[in-house]
Amino acid sequence: MRSILEDFALGNISPDVPLNARYKQALRAVCDTEAKLSSQLTDEAKLSLKKFADAHSELNRLTATENFMCGYRLGLIMTAETFISYNELFGEE
């Protein structure tokens, strides 16, 4: 069962954030490079490249989701510590 935090990290729940110029530039570079590389490959090599790209995308998605969730939790702990002490928060003497 996924949490609301994970759904948010996966983009299932998201604010409307416009894509900035750096993102668009990076996306264009990826697409242009993929098109150039693809035109130079055999069908078998294209399939291997697609499998690699799909696996890499999944790894990036998993990493980004985990990093988001860890960062969010850390932020909540930091917020909680502004109201109570570290020792109270973690039950340390």
Q: What is the DSSP letter of 49?
A: H
Over residues 63-72, the mean pLDDT reads 92
Which residues fall within 8 angstroms of residue 1, CB to CB, at 6 or more apart? none
pLDDT tens across 5-63, in order? Answer: 788 777 777 666 677 888 889 989 999 999 999 999 999 999 999 999 999 999 999 99
- Distances from the Cα of 87 to the Cα of 45, 46, 69, 70, 93, angstroms: 57, 56, 23, 21, 6
Q: Could you tell me if 9 and 64 are in contact, meaning their C-beta atoms sit under 8 angstroms apart?
A: yes
Output the pLDDT for position 9. Answer: 78
Task: Give the pLDDT band (50/70/90) at residue 1.
Answer: low
Q: What is the pTM of this model?
A: 0.64
CB 64 within 8 A of CB 72: no
If one counts the domains in the chain, the total is: 1
pLDDT of the residue at 58: 96
3-state secondary structure of 21: helix
Question: Among the listed ranges 18-22, 43-47, 73-77, 85-89, which one has the minimum average pLDDT value?
Answer: 85-89
Q: What is each CA distance from 3 to 17, 35, 61, in whole angstroms?
A: 22, 37, 16
pLDDT, greater one: 90 or 45 = 45
In terms of residue numbers, what domain contains 9?
4-90
